[in-house]
């Protein structure tokens, strides 16, 4: 993508930008900084940068890089949307050499089904086999 790069070098990441976005998102509203820091530290992450070195996007995978991955916290900042960056980010992640041969990659989204469907994501078959402990308001407690 001309004018942009993707990196998974966490030393390049703009933690304040990531936190500012996620702490106001519908899926991670109110997340404490320490929780996000620990999540990034223990995940396989990707960031999108413009030519000026400013971070404009992010995605995080919880994965063993062998059998399973959960794609989370995917975003492009509003001022850089509409340029195909989210597509490029997801394509880069799905095609990454360390993520080939996974048995399952999953995600949860409220509003971006058509984006992820382009890269092979489908509704979960047999959702009755899945279980969860879900605490959607944990950051507000």
Size (the chain), residues = 141
Domain residue limits at 118: 4-140
**Radius of gyration of the chain from Cα atoms?**
15
Whether pTM exceeds 0.85: yes
pLDDT tens for each residue of 84-119: 999 999 999 999 999 999 999 999 999 999 999 999
CATH number at residue 24: 3.40.630.30
Q: How many domains does the chain have?
A: 1
pLDDT tens for each residue of 122-135: 999 999 999 999 99
pLDDT tens for each residue of 15-25: 999 999 999 99
Residue 109: other Cβ atoms inside 10 A: 14
What CA–CA distance (Å, rounded) separates 19 from 66?
A: 28
Question: Quick check: 1 pLDDT over 90?
Answer: no
Residue among 38, 87, 77, 45 nearest 62 (CA) = 45
- Please report where in the chains the tokens 């999108």 appear, as a residue: 48
Give the model's pLDDT for residue 37.
Answer: 97
43 phi, psi to nearest 5 deg: -125, 165
pLDDT tens for each residue of 34-70: 999 999 999 999 999 999 999 999 999 999 999 999 9
pLDDT tens for each residue of 65-77: 999 999 999 999 9
Residue among 107, 11, 101, 41 nearest 65 (CA) = 101
């Amino acid at each position: 993508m001309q004018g942009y790069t993707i990196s998974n070098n966490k030393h390049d990441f703009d933690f304040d930008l990531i936190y500012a976005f996620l702490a106001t998102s519908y899926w991670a509203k109110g997340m404490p900084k320490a929780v996000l820091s620990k999540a990034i530290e223990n995940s396989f992450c990707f960031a999108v940068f413009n030519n000026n070195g400013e971070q404009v996007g992010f995605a995080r995978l919880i994965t063993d890089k062998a059998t399973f991955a959960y794609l989370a916290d995917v975003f492009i900042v509003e001022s850089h949307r509409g340029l195909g960056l989210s597509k490029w980010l997801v394509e880069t992640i799905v095609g990454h050499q360390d993520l080939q041969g996974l048995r399952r990659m999953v995600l949860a989204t409220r509003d971006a089904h058509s984006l992820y469907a382009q890269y092979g994501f489908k509704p979960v078959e047999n959702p009755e086999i899945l279980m969860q402990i879900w605490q959607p308001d944990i950051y507000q407690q």
